[in-house]
Amino acid sequence: MTAMTDPPNEGFRLSQLIYDTRYRSMTIQAVAFMLIMAGIIWLANNTVQNLSALGKDFDFGFLWSRAGYDINQRLIEYSNDSTHGRAAMVGIANTLLVAVLGCVLATLLGVIAGVLRLSKNWVVARLMTFYVEGFRNIPLLLWIIVIFAVMTESTPQPRDFREGGTASMILNDTVAITNRGIFIPNPVWGEGSGALIAIFLASLVGIWAFRRYARKLQEQTGQILPVLWVSLGLFFAPVILAYFILGRPVTLIYPELGGFNFTGGIQVRNSLIALWIALSLYTGAFIAEVVRAGILSVSRGQTEAAFALGIQPSRTMNLVILPQALRVIIPPLISQYLNLTKNSSLALAVGYMDVRSTLGGITINQTGRELEGMLLLGVFYLITSLIISSAMNLYNNSVKLKER
C-alpha cells in the first residue's frame, strides 16, 4: 500500500506573473499604472519644456499678487487691492452659492413636476409635459439670457420709486425689485447673536431627531405622529422665544432710496437671480423625468394595496411609492446635481462673477498664467464634484435595499 504525499511546494517564478491567474490581474494593473504615470510625467515634462521655449515658467506665485479689479457680487470681504487668490476665493464662494441654491430649487421643482406629470388631471399633466419638454430641449444659455433680459427690461428703475413715481416697495416697504437687482434688508449681528444661531442649529437637530423617532414608531406600531406641525413648531418657536429673551440681538437695516440707487440693504443682482432661476428650471425638468421614471418603476400593485387599506393618496405617495422610488431616483439625480454645478460656469454670459469669471477669466488675462489658472479651475470642479458624488452616494446607501 503506497502512502499519499503532498506535491512538492515549488517556489515563486517570474513566469507566474503572466501565466498564473492568481497574479496576472495584479501584473496587468501594475503595468497599466506605470504606463499612465509615465504618460503623465512625459506630458508634464513636455509642457515645462514648451513653456521654457516661450520664456515662461510654471509658477503659482501670481495668486499673491494684487488683483486690481472689482467683483460686484461677493459673500466675503474683497477689494481691488486684494490678491488674485482672494479673488479666486470670492469666485468659489459665488459658484458654491448658486450651486446650492440651484440644487435645492431644482429638486423641489423636479419632484413636483415629476409627480404632477403623472396626474390624472389632463390639464395639469399636459402643463407639466410642456414645462419638461420646453426646458429640456432649449439650450440653457438661452434661458439664462432670456430670464436676465426679462428681469432687466420689465422691472422699474430705482428713480421710479421716488415719491409720486410709478413703482413701490413690497413687504411693508422692506424689499425693492428693480432693474439693477432686488434689494432686501441687511441683518446686523449684535451681542447674543451667536447664542441665537446655536439655538437655531439645535432646533434643526431636534427636528431631525423627532422625524427619525416618528418614522421608527410608525414602522414598529403603525402610529402616525403629527410630524409636519411639530417640525414647524421646533423650527420657529425656540428661535422666536430666544430672540426676545436675548434682547433682539439681530436687527435689520432696510434699503432706502438715496440718490440714483438704493442704499442700506443687500443688493441681490439680476445676474445671480437669472442664473439661479435658469439653472433650477432647466435642471428641474431633467429631475422631473428622473422622478417620473422612479415612480413608474414601483409596481402598481403597491399603490392598489395602499388604497385597499384606506391610505390617503398623499400618504401613499409619501410612505409607499417615493421611499421605493428613491432607489431608482438617487443615482441619476447625482448626475443632475453635478451638471448643475458645472453648468454654473455659464454665469459669464450675464456678468455673474463666479470662479470661471475670476480665476478662469480676468486673473488669467491679467497674469498670463493660463495653464496654472485652468489647472486650478479644473481641480476645483473635480473636488466639488467628488464631494457632491460622495455625499449623495452615502445617502443612496442609506435608502437602498438591505439584503441579508
pLDDT tens sequence across 205-250 = 999 999 989 888 887 887 888 888 899 999 999 999 999 988 889 8
Taking residues 359-386, what's their average pLDDT?
Answer: 90
Residue 106 lies inside a defined structural domain of this protein: yes
Q: Is 224 inside a domain boundary?
A: no
Q: Kind of pairing, strands 181-184 and 186-189?
A: unpaired
99: containing domain: 60-161+269-287+338-353
Helix (H) or strand (E) holding 141: helix 140-153
Lowest mean pLDDT among 102-106, 135-139, 241-245, 325-329: 325-329
Residue 235 is which amino acid?
F
Q: Is residue 111 part of a domain?
A: yes
Does residue 128 lie in a domain region?
Answer: yes
**pLDDT score recorded for residue 395:** 84
Mean pLDDT value of segment 309-325: 81
Say whether 328 sits in a helix, a strand or coil: helix
Residue 404 maps to a domain = no
Helices 322-343, 370-399: crossing angle, 10 deg rounding: 170
Q: Does the structure show a pLDDT above 60 at 283?
A: yes
Strands 266-268 and 181-184: antiparallel
Residues 6+ apart with CB under 8 A from 128: 113, 116, 117, 119, 288
Residues 6+ apart with CB under 8 A from 236: none
Q: Is residue 124 part of a domain?
A: yes
At 15 the three-state DSSP class reads coil
Q: Look at phi and psi of residue 167 and say left if phi exceeds 0, alpha if psi is from -120 to 50, else beta.
A: beta
Residue 101 lies in a domain: yes
Number of domains the chain is built from = 1
Q: Taking 90 as the threshold, does the pLDDT of residue 274 lie above it?
A: yes
3-state secondary structure of 245: helix
For residues 255 and 268, what is the distance between their CA atoms, to the nearest angstrom?
Answer: 12
* Residue 134: pLDDT over 50: yes
pLDDT of residue 263: 83
Q: Is residue 404 pLDDT above 60, yes or no?
A: no
pTM as predicted: 0.84
Distances (CA, A) of 77 to 9, 92, 100: 71, 13, 20
In a domain, 108, yes or no: yes
pLDDT score for 190: 87
Q: Which of 340, 310, 355 is nearest to 87 (CA)?
A: 355
The HSE-up count of residue 370 (CA atoms within 13 Å, CB side) is 4
Least confident of 78-82, 376-380, 396-400: 396-400
279 touches 140 (CB < 8 A): yes
